[in-house]
Chains A and B, each alone.
Chain A
Amino acid sequence: MIPAQFDYVAPETVQDAIAALAEHGDDAKVLAGGQSLLPILRMRLNAPGVIVDLGRIPELQGISEEGDHLVIGAMTTYAALLASEAVSTHAGVLSKAIHTVADPQIRHRGTIGGALVHADPAGDVGAPALALGAELVIAGAGGATRTVAADDFFEDLFTTAVRDGELLTQVRVPKHTGWGAHYEKFVRVSHQWSIVGVAATVRSEAGSIAEARVGLTNMGSTPLRAKAVEEALVGRPATDEAVRAAVASVADGTNPPSDLNGDSDYRKHLATVLTRRAVLAAAGA
């Protein structure tokens, strides 16, 4: 099926894009890589009157380094992130997670900003963003910007801190240079969305875990950060036994969905297994 009719604008600056959103209000919808939005429009699940395409705004593209942060433009594609040595060196868990997203064709188009704002709980980008403590720069009316921590960004199913009329412009990622990283994604067939996924990044010192960050995919209505597990891991040796004990409670307080791929209890069990694997792999064990 093809989308319902809409008008199309392709501004060349963030300012013009925000002005277009202000002009059209509720009737406008932002288009990034289109890899989630176009299927939605084609299935007629949504029928905006105006599409504001961000694809012609150079300032939203690219990856740079600012001191101890990586700064990633919202329109940077998965493929560009995977090709970036800066990302694999300083934010390894993001590279690892993105490698598992969809397929090469979709990774050539899909963007980090689109993935984060779309906020599908089974999407693979939220968990590493949480694990890395990313900061999300949002531009609004008049071009004013605000910065929201990843911990406060995901509000509910498909809902983030980005309000109508606003744009996500940048993802600022504190460098995790020298941290080990792993993304453990559980699927039954290839090319599937995560049934459960776990992003882990670990700083090791002399064979034991000095610091750990853990994000969970599809364990609730938003990606989640497993703070209690992060704390329990500190100071532990990177052995199967020690990590198994530290991550045993990772599913406590989560509310994962039940669907054809598995019921909620099954996902809770999976989360403990996958977290152990992800942490051990990130610690190089």
Chain B
Amino acid sequence: MTRIQVTVDGVSYSDDVEPRTLLVQYLRESLGKTGTVVGCDTSNCGACTVHLDGVSVKSCNVLAVQADGHEVTTIEGLATDGELHPVQQAFHECHALQCGYCTPGMIMQAVDLLNDNPDPSEQEIREGLEGNLCRCTGYHNIVKAVQQAAKAGVTS
């Protein structure tokens, strides 16, 4: 076991973990943050996307021990005081989800994309979400939601 100290969604945690524990496993199984989901075995799908020190990563492809001393934001940490984050609100309003499985990762990556580029073109949105797969929507309304959030002038 290795001792780690991680701040997740603003709360500091100290835990003993097996070094082989994946960050996504730690979030879901130790902290109960099941908003972050696992959609594949190959780090292709992006469903597990969280922010590590403010930038997006696939939490199935990071060890919990690598997050020691760092800060993680999950989909559960986006809303403030019960108010949806503007990107969450835009996904809701634009009907950017069907089954919703890809949505936590899609939203976390969309927030990262807008942090990096507050005024992306449609092409830049599609490329910025390249690592997030959706089996339902055909992406069209996801792109529209990101455009709407961009118009609203989102920053995290």
A→B interface (CB under 8 Å): 1-8, 10, 31, 34-35, 38-39, 41-43, 51, 53, 55, 79, 102-106, 108-109, 190-191
Q: Is the CB of B41 within 8 A of A43?
A: yes
Q: Is B62 an interface residue (CB 8 A)?
A: yes
Q: Is the CB of B41 within 8 A of A1?
A: yes
* Cα A55 to Cα B67 with chains together (Å): 10
Say yes or no: A35-B20 contact (C-beta < 8 A), given A10-B65, A104-B130, A105-B56.
no
Q: Choose among A5, A34, A106 the residue that contacts B18 (Cβ–Cβ < 8 A).
A: A5
Q: Which residue of B lies closest to A77 (CB)?
A: B55
Q: Choose among A8, A41, A105, A191 the residue that contacts B58 (Cβ–Cβ < 8 A).
A: A105
Q: Is B155 an interface residue (CB 8 A)?
A: no
Q: Is the CB of A190 within 8 A of B61?
A: no
* Cα A6 to Cα B113 with chains together (Å): 35
Among B73-118, those with CB < 8 Å from A are 109, 112-113, 116
Say yes or no: A104-B19 contact (C-beta < 8 A), given A1-B41, A38-B63, A109-B57.
no
Enumerate 26 A-B pairs (CB-CB under 8 Å) in ascending A order.
A2-B20, A2-B21, A5-B19, A8-B2, A8-B63, A10-B65, A31-B66, A34-B61, A34-B63, A38-B63, A39-B42, A42-B60, A53-B65, A53-B66, A79-B55, A102-B131, A103-B131, A104-B56, A104-B109, A105-B49, A105-B109, A106-B131, A108-B55, A109-B57, A109-B58, A191-B44
Say yes or no: A104-B128 contact (C-beta < 8 A), given A8-B2, A109-B61.
yes
* Cα A51 to Cα B64 with chains together (Å): 13
* Cα A102 to Cα B46 with chains together (Å): 12
Among B19-62, those with CB < 8 Å from A are 19-22, 25, 41-44, 46, 49, 52, 55-58, 60-62
* Cα A106 to Cα B2 with chains together (Å): 25
Say yes or no: A3-B55 contact (C-beta < 8 A), given A43-B41, A103-B46, A103-B130.
no
Interface residues of B toward A: which range? 35 or more
Q: Is the CB of B130 within 8 A of A39?
A: no
A-B pairs with the 3 shortest C-beta distances? A103-B131, A8-B19, A3-B20
* Cα A5 to Cα B18 with chains together (Å): 8
B-side contacts of A43, CB under 8 Å: 41
* Cα A191 to Cα B42 with chains together (Å): 13
Say yes or no: A106-B25 contact (C-beta < 8 A), given A3-B20, A53-B65.
no
B-side contacts of A108, CB under 8 Å: 52, 55-57
Say yes or no: A35-B43 contact (C-beta < 8 A), given A4-B20, A106-B61, A108-B55.
yes
A-side contacts of B132, CB under 8 Å: 103
Q: Is the CB of B131 within 8 A of A55?
A: no
Q: Is the CB of B43 within 8 A of A51?
A: no
Task: Please name 14 further chain A to chain B contacts, defined as beta carbons within 8 Å, in addition to the given A53-B66, A104-B113, A190-B126, sorted by A numbering.
Answer: A7-B19, A34-B63, A38-B43, A38-B61, A51-B19, A103-B46, A104-B56, A104-B112, A105-B46, A105-B56, A108-B57, A109-B57, A191-B44, A191-B131
A-side contacts of B68, CB under 8 Å: 10
Quote the shortest CB–CB distance from B53 to chain A (angstroms). 9
Q: Is the CB of A5 within 8 A of B55?
A: no
Instruction: Encode contact with A along B117-156: 1 for CB under 8 Å, 0 otherwise.
Output: 0000000001110111000000000000000000000000
